Chain A
Amino acid sequence: DAGVIQSPRHEVTEMGQEVTLRCKPISGHNSLFWYRQTMMRGLELLIYFNNNVPIDDSGMPEDRFSAKMPNASFSTLKIQPSEPRDSAVYFCASTPHYSTGELFFGEGSRLTVL
């Protein structure tokens, strides 16, 4: 079975550029989560969706960050404009609705903003 698929795995960009990270959740999973991981802050929940609807975006750091889930099999996290402090590993995770809460993580997208 395919797991959660993220792309790109690595992205290096310059400050001010737009960055788009992509995620394909496991088929049949209704909930999707975006996390950011850094050495300083650990694992932070940015936003999560249920049935393609954003339920909680209180973790999105600022207006430069936006996330969409146009359908059940695809989500994007966009940063515009990017800044060096956005450098981190961004993880996508999914889980079935009404589950016990076990999350299935992708391998992450490592973003470096110069």
Chain B
Amino acid sequence: GDSVTQMEGPVTLSEEAFLTINCTYTATGYPSLFWYVQYPGEGLQLLLKATKADDKGSNKGFEATYRKETTSFHLEKGSVQVSDSAVYFCALSDSLSGGYQKVTFGTGTKLQVIP
């Protein structure tokens, strides 16, 4: 079955440091890939997505590239801010017959950015 593996947290960085959160996946079909972010006390919200191989998703300075050959979708940001402190979830969505979407989430990686 489908699965998503992301690096264990928490990750603690100083402000303006470079961020990488690793994510690899296993899927039977041709999934879409997502990064969601969850700020304290809130629900998950979509950060970026990529729907096919070699696509790059980007938003708010974050980027991730869909690498089919390595089954990876690593999240990167060149210079983190304190306001980026949150939990980040990697996810994949696989289409099933009938148009249904099966969404699989990773376990989440907590990022703490210190001034």
Q: A residues touching B (Cβ–Cβ < 8 Å)?
A: 4, 31, 33, 42-43, 45, 50, 55-56, 91, 93, 95, 97-108
B108 touches A101 (CB 8 A): no
Most chain A beta-carbon neighbours within 10 Å: one of B43, B44, B108: B43
Contacts A42-B108, A43-B105, A55-B100 hold; do A100 and B89 have CB atoms under 8 A apart?
A: no
Residue of A nearest to B44 (CB): A105
Interface of B is mostly: strand
Q: How far is the CB of A48 from chain B (nearest CB, A)?
A: 8
A43 touches B89 (CB 8 A): yes
User: Which residues of chain A are within 8 angstroms of B77 by Cβ–Cβ distance?
Assistant: none
Q: B residues touching A (Cβ–Cβ < 8 Å)?
A: 31-32, 34, 36, 41-46, 49, 51, 89, 92-95, 98-103, 105, 107-108
Pairs A-B, 5 closest by C-beta atoms: A101-B93, A105-B43, A101-B101, A98-B99, A42-B107
